[in-house]
Structure 1
Amino acid sequence: MANTMSSFGEFNFGGVQDKLGSTVEIMEVESIGGKQVYEAENWGGFGSLCSDYGIYGNGFSDFTKYQQQDQQLQQQPQLISDYGVFDDMQFQFGALSPPLQACLEEIAKLESIPTLVPHVEPPKKELKRDFFSVAGLDLLNNYGSGFKRLNGERIVEPNPYPAYTEVKSSKLSTEEIMRVAGARFIRTASQVSPSDIPSMLSHPFELSFAGLSNEESRDVELVEFLLASAEKVGYQQYERASKLLDLCERLCSDRGNPVERVVFYFCEALQDKIDRETGRTIQKKQSFDIDKAMMNTNETSLACHNKIPFCQIAQFAGIQAVVEKVVEAKKVHVIDLEIRSGVQWTVLMQALASRDFPLELLKISAVGTSKETIQNTGKWLESFAKTMNLPFSFKMVLVPDMLDLKEDMFELDSEETVAVYTQFVLRSMVPQPDRLDSLMKVIKNIHPSVTVVTEVEANHNSPVFVTRFIEALFFYSAFFDCAETCIEQNDPIRKSLESNYFGNGIKNIVATEGEERKIRNVKIDVWRAFFARYGMEEMELSSSSLYQAELVAKNFPCGNSCTITMDGKTLIAGWKGTPLQSLSLWKFV
């Protein structure tokens, strides 16, 4: 019974709609110079994270293992951000993450290079280029040293000759262009002075890559200029960075090919960062609230849901897991944190309606802040339940603040089998550790049979600018490539998606700091360590859930570019090998 396969393999979300209508910055708060800094002492289980990630902030002085490995860290606490952040690549190498070049070095897996503390201007008397620490060298190892497409038809292989890389057949993806540009940038930057702008601009054209088309060559060169500009920003050489940005902006466009569009929005973000740090503009909070927009049902979100596979992959696989946990229950209670359209629950209704024995009650408790949105969702789900002849109850749980959420708001019944569903909710509370802690305690008190967690699979939570820049560059490159493939060129939805969601996301990650930086995604290994603090244990996804994920991907025209892999017990959905979303199941022990 555990692997019972529900009968919604051919279910179409769009058809139902037509018919009826988010390392965690954590830790004890301590006042330092009028600012809040979060430390690890009060987070019990987080102490075990030190060996894998480390925690930024004053609390890092407790981690003697890393003090012994790198005395320099003890001497430079003033360089650590006021936000105590999990950066899952930093402390395992016992050094601070460097500016851009060390990160890019990993693409080509070139030789080791000396250490340089980030954001420190090289002495003016030294004209030779200083390279950076091995801490950054592991960052892009995750992306691999070569470029192997899904079907193995396109390979870019490292070459012993520094000015030549061989490219074989087919067209490079947007992310592969970024990798090639990174490899070229490293080789170029190793041969020129950091202060020699003309040389930086001319030297890349002297390197050749056999097999690149004219468009690919232009794209690679464009990305090189972007990387050079980001490096100057990392060194706080803003005037030089601006000159490179001016060149990039003449060569890119928000209406060009995917590479040009990626560069366009990263140029905007870098310029915004320069303006903020030089005081040229008044820092204003982001006008477009991405998390709020994702929580609401709108034309862009619905179109993306129907045209881009990732959300449906996680939803179908996650609902399959819920079905398996409630397969014998007479009363089923689903708690949906920050419910959106609720369309995924029509899938659950179909599965429960097809069971061999009747269901006494399906109750959905919808958590949220917008009464109108939740009411509309509830009415729609009630209408659908009637078409399935299911006994159904819908309850709104309105909370202006997650600190106000209590388990007695859910009217729990001892005969109910409870499942908690959270999709891109936890990520939004990473900058608010008190709310995240409060929510986890509520869920623990409820003790659901399964907690389904869907989150962004990316590391956008580093206090170091260059780390965030590199992670964001590859992450959004994959999304732009996906949008190019899945959404028609002239579809206004694509422009809205890229400008509002991608563009503002890039700007928030790259340009902002402190409390203004809201987008702080962390990867599944960080969430694992976090959940362990509350006594949660990861559960296996069944073969039926994995089959549902694969079936959904195949039903999309662009599904052959969508990759589904496993990280331990967690399903990772990605685009041409780049991880984008994770789905994991949890229970309390």
Structure 2
Amino acid sequence: MENLCNFGEISFSAIEDKLSSSNDTFWHTKKVTEMKNVQFSLAEDQGNYNGIGSLCSNFCFFQDDPSQEEELLFPTNQQKFHHQQKSYQDHEPLDNLQFDMVQFDEQFETKKLPLCDTKKDKQYFQNTPLAAPVEILKNYGKGFKRLLPDEGKILHPVNDFGLVTDNDNERKLSTADIMKIAGTKFIQSSSSSESASGLILNHPFGFSFSGLSDEEKDDISLAESLLACAEKVGYQQFERARKLLSQIESLSSKTGNPVKRVVYYFAEALRQRIDRETGRVSINNMQKKESLFDPEVETKDLTPTLVAFIEDLPFCKVSMFPCVQALIENVTDAKKIHVIDLAIRKGLQWTILMQALQSRSECPLELLKITAISSGNTDTSKLVVEDTGKRLKDFAQSLNIPFSFDTVIVSDLLHLREDHFKIDSDETVAVYSQFALRCKIQQSDQLETVMRVIRTINPRVMVVAEIEANHNSKSFVNRFIEALFYFSAFFDCLEDCMKGDEKNRMIIESMYFSHGIRNNVAEEGAERKSRNVKIDVWRAFFTRFGMVETELSMMSLYQAELVAKRFPCGSSCTFDMNGHCLIVGWKGTPIISVSVWKFI
């Protein structure tokens, strides 16, 4: 950790394998009566958009006493909200996913270093084959704590590890649990060194596997074979890997249970990597195939699949509401609020903010200004952003909120400058970044430019939500294991939240998740654009720009917990704290981080 003090040496590739987002610090339990002013309430159906229900219909900010939990979740008095419902229903729904050099004082001068050097981004081979994978599997096997409501309290930690080790417990193992057990068996069967054996003895899954169902035993064997195949691919033992892969492919299925589904797509990615490494498929052909579907482009538009992802899976809204709450708390005394959004997409977050500001009485709002930043194809970007702006203007008008929308569109973020932003001296500026920075890890010079411009603007607060995963390791095997646990959690979530044969689920798995898996497993160097990093890496990066992390309020944490309750599968949504950062997970596996930053 001492390396964090040496800002000049910080880079994503240097830090990622040394830092973990996990710690055992949880927020203290507090009385519900400490929560004030904000509640979620159910609004009636608000019309349709091409046959798709409104995304903002179920989650609204309203002023009330949040200690009345039943009233929050199941309000009986709908008349209170009827006038707002009528004003919303004519507007199309809004979604979000995901999702010039300036001078500094010497105190904040930063040395520009590449955060991701794709020219040097080649897999490396460890002298001790199992050392790093063992550590990763060991970390994932620590069990987890779930934060649940209790009488008179908001949240408290509960140890759920017993569900795996208790043979009398009839609860089904999660997909991640299957992977943990498979990892332990893989280590036990592969390791002969004394050091690795020591790790196994301390591993929480070092127990007898009796008591598991036949299906679970089959799934564990299948996952163990996948790990063995990945190790052989990592050591370029391609013929041995092919033989093992053929068996894996025959037992996995994209329509089976979540374990068989996730193994199917990882096996598919391993096959593509082998074909690429052995010359059976050229890199150019793989790049052409990848260009046919770009998730970053697809998520800028509203589709039935994306709507289903937002509506059925809890992560987007569970992370969005504490972000908006944190922003509100930092601009409570501002009459003119100017928010710079680094990736606005359809702007669902701003409909939430508007509803919260509508009832603010202490400091009446004179203006809410949103500035959206976009780059790339300027014509296409302009149309997408302007369409979002029109929808937000209509929504603000329906709430009688003074609203202004502006855009900053550049062909390349390297061209972004402070004077692109129309900022008045009496405005309070905030920056909102939801899944925006991860897209620029590979283009480290662009990311540097964006952060330098933001530093010069000096906003009151910057709210950040990012994917909490390490998909930027130079080691193929390490990256494979990290991706396996991350996507296993998502496939498990889809199993609980969607029907097995649902069309949108199949699209999410076969296109969006398959693309992410393939990008992590089958590709290297500049081709690998999916490079998520954990909060510790972002924390070190932000420090270079004179940023300090601030504590999320109990209200923000309560917002996340309350939104999770609104989903049928929300009880499997888990919460952890890493320093001041909220980690939203699925059955203990980290998925998203939410953090708040200020400039010093």
Residue 362 of structure 1: aligned partner: 368
- Among candidates 141, 144, 150, match of residue 141 of structure 2: 144
In the TM superposition, what whole-angstrom CA distance separates every residue of 1:195-246 from its partner, at most 9, and x where no partner exists?
Answer: xxxxxxxxxxxx9721111111111111111111111101111011011111
8 Å CA contact 1:168–1:211 kept in 2: the answer is: no
Q: Which amino acid aligns with 1:300?
A: T
Shift of 1:338: 1.8
CA distance in structure 1 between the partners assigned to 2:302 and 2:470 by the alignment: 26
Which residue in the other structure is 1:257 paired with? 257
Q: How does 1:389-538 map to 2 (within 5 A)?
A: 389-538=400-549
In the TM superposition, what is the alpha-carbon distance from 1:169 to its structure 2 partner? 3.7
Higher relative contact order (CA 8 A, sep 6+): 2
Give the corresponding residue for 1:60: none
Does 1:214 pair with 2:226? Answer: no
Distance 1:374 1:581 in 2: 25
Decide whether the 8 Å contact of 1:4 with 1:324 is kept in 2.
no
Give the residue type in structure 1 aligned to 2:120: Y
Which letter maps to 2:333?
A: E
Q: What is the correspondence of 1:237-256 to structure 2 with a 5 Å cutoff?
A: 237-256=237-256
In structure 2, the residue matched to 1:575 is: 586
Query: Partner residue of 2:73?
Result: none
Partners of 2:255 and 2:501 within 8 A in 1: no
Contact 1:232 1:238 in 2 (8 A): yes
What do the CA deviations read for 1:21-65 (whole angstroms, capped 9, x no partner)? 1xxxxxxxxxxxxxxxxxxxx963989xxxxxxx998xxxxxxxx
Q: Which moved more, 1:435-444 or 1:335-344?
A: 335-344
Question: Per-residue deviation at 1:567?
Answer: 0.6
Alpha-carbon distance change, 396 to 45 in structure 1, aligned in 2, over 3 angstroms: closer
Q: What is the one-letter code of the residue matched to 1:144? A: G
Partner residue of 2:312 out of 299, 307, 312? 307
Q: Deviations over 1:525-557 (max 9, x none)?
A: 000000000000001111111111111011111
Aligned-residue offset at 1:146: 5.1
Q: 1:344 to 1:416 in 2, by over 3 A?
A: same
Report SS of the residue matched to 1:564.
strand
Query: Which residue number corresponds to residue 377 of structure 1?
Result: 388
1:350 matched residue in structure 2: 355
Alignment pair present for 1:174 and 2:216: no
Distance 1:461 1:436 in 2: 16
Q: CA deviation at 1:269?
A: 0.6
TM-fit CA distance, 1:18: 6.1
What residue in structure 2 maps to residue 280 of structure 1? 280
* Alpha-carbon distance, 1:292 to partner: 2.2
Structure 2: distance between partners of 1:308 and 1:401 = 33
Q: Counterpart of 1:566 in 2: which secondary structure? A: strand
Q: Are the counterparts in 1 of residues 116 and 441 from structure 2 also a CA contact under 8 Å?
A: no
Structure 1 residues 15, 185: CA separation in 2 closer, same or farther (over 3 Å shift)? same
Give the alignment's TM-score, normalised by structure 2. 0.75
CA RMSD of aligned residues (A): 2.7
Amino acid at match of 1:461: N
Question: Greater shift after overlay, 214-223 or 484-493?
Answer: 484-493
Q: How far apart are 1:11 and its partner, in Å?
A: 6.0
| Equivalent residue, structure 2, for 1:7 | 38
Deviation of 1:373 after TM superposition, in Å, equals: 1.4
How many Å apart are 1:490 and its aligned residue? 2.6
- What is the DSSP-based 3-state SS (H/G/I as helix, E as strand, rest coil) of the residue aligned with 1:474? helix
Change beyond 3 A, Cα 1:355–1:433: same
Is 1:83 aligned with 2:120?
yes
CA distance 1:368–1:46, shift in 2 (3 Å): closer
1:250 partner amino acid: S
Matched residues in 2 for 1:242 and 1:148: separation? 39
Deviation at residue 327 of structure 1 after TM alignment: 1.3
Alpha-carbon shift at residue 84 of structure 1 (Å): 5.9
TM-superposed CA distance for 1:472, in Å, is: 0.3
Q: Distance in 1 between matches of 2:543 and 2:208?
A: 50
Displacement of 1:10 after TM fit?
2.3
Residues 232 and 503 of structure 1: CA distance in aligned 2, closer, same or farther (over 3 Å): same
Alignment-derived partner of residue 52 in structure 1: none
CA 1:364 to 1:8, structure 2 compared with 1: closer, same or farther past 3 Å?
A: farther
User: In 2, distance between residues paired with 1:406 and 1:84?
Assistant: 30
Report the Cα distance in structure 2 between the residues aligned to 1:233 and 1:278, rounded to whole angstroms: 11
Q: Measure the CA separation in 2 of the matches of 1:420 and 1:170.
A: 43
Q: Deviations over 1:57-101 (max 9, x none)?
A: 8xxxxxxxxxxxxxxxxxxxxxxx84369x9xxxxxxxx774xxx
Aligned with 2:180: secondary structure? helix
How big is the shift at 1:500? 1.2
Hey, what does 2:82 align to over in structure 1?
none
Q: Which one of the candidate residues 340, 345, 348 is aligned to 1:340? A: 345
User: Residue 558 and residue 10 in structure 1: after superposition, are their counterparts in 2 closer, same or farther (change >3 A)?
Assistant: same
Letter in 2 for 1:348: L
Unaligned runs of 5+ in 2: 1-33, 44-54, 59-87, 93-108, 147-157, 194-206, 376-380
Q: Give TM-score, length-normalised by structure 1.
A: 0.76
* Mapped contact 2:175–2:259 kept (Cα < 8 A): yes
Q: Does the CA contact (< 8 Å) of 2:116 and 2:442 recur in 1? A: no
User: What amino acid is aligned across from residue 352 of structure 2 in structure 1?
Assistant: V
Q: SS where residue 376 of structure 1 aligns?
A: helix
CA distance in 1, matches of 2:37, 2:395: 18
Correspondence for 1:44 among 108, 111, 115:
111
Partner of 1:28 in structure 2? none
Give 1:51's aligned residue: none
* Counterparts of residues 46-125 of structure 1 (less than 5 Å): 82-83=119-120, 98=126, 116=128
Counterpart residue identity of residue 243, structure 1: K
Give a deviation string over 1:152-180, Cα, whole Å, max 9, x none: 374445xxxxxxx9685421000000111
**CA shift at 1:382, angstroms?**
0.8
Q: Which letter does structure 1 place at the counterpart of 2:309? A: C
Match of 2:566 among 555, 561, 564: 555
Matched-pair contact (CA < 8 Å) for 1:402–1:435:
yes
Partner of 1:20: 91
Would you say how many aligned residue pairs link Structure 1 and Structure 2?
477
Contact 1:148/1:156 (<8 A) preserved: no
Partner of 2:230: 230
The amino acid of 1:321's aligned partner reads: A
- Distance (whole Å) between structure 1 residues aligned to residue 312 and residue 502 of structure 2: 12
Deviation at 1:136, TM superposition (A): 4.3
Q: 2:323 aligns with which of 305, 313, 318?
A: 318
Is the contact between residue 6 and residue 323 of structure 1 (CA under 8 Å) also seen in structure 2?
no
5+ long unaligned stretches in structure 1? 22-41, 48-54, 58-80, 88-95, 99-114, 117-130, 158-164, 193-206
